């Protein structure tokens, strides 16, 4: 018996469209950074467009990224965590405060 279900796409891959949405191009932005106790002597450059990127902070000197998703964002928790993952890979930890 042959399986007719299409193969699953890996997380973060687009299924058919090569155009990224604005949501996928811009890293999700933390609500704030919790002080980590690191020595903040490293110069941090904010992007010209006002968006922060984990790549701009290689030593996670800003602190622990804290996210406050909206209810809509939180409904698909796995998708939200895929977007937060880039920050966690850099800082080693993130905090997500669920909506009330």
Q: What's this model's pTM, rounded to 2 decimal places?
A: 0.64
The residues near 79 (Cβ < 8 Å, ≥ 6 apart) are: none
Give the residue extent of every domain in the chain: 26-38+54-96
Per-residue pLDDT at 99 exceeds 50: yes
63 and 41 Cβ atoms separated by less than 8 Å:
no
Mean of per-residue pLDDT scores for the chain: 75
pLDDT tens by residue, 38-86: 555 444 555 556 788 888 887 888 899 999 999 999 999 999 999 999 9
Distances (CA, A) of 11 to 14, 15, 78, 83: 9, 10, 10, 10
Distances (CA, A) of 16 to 12, 13, 25, 48: 12, 9, 17, 31
């Amino acid at each position: 018996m042959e399986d007719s279900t299409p193969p699953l796409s890996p997380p973060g891959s687009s299924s058919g469209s090569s155009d990224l949405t604005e949501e996928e191009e811009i890293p999700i932005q933390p609500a704030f950074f919790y002080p980590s106790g690191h020595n903040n002597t490293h110069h941090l450059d904010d992007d010209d467009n006002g968006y922060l990127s984990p790549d701009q902070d290689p030593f996670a000197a800003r602190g622990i990224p804290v996210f406050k998703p909206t209810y809509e964002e939180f409904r698909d928790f796995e998708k939200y965590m895929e977007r937060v993952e880039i920050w966690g890979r850099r800082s080693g930890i993130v905090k997500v405060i669920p909506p009330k």
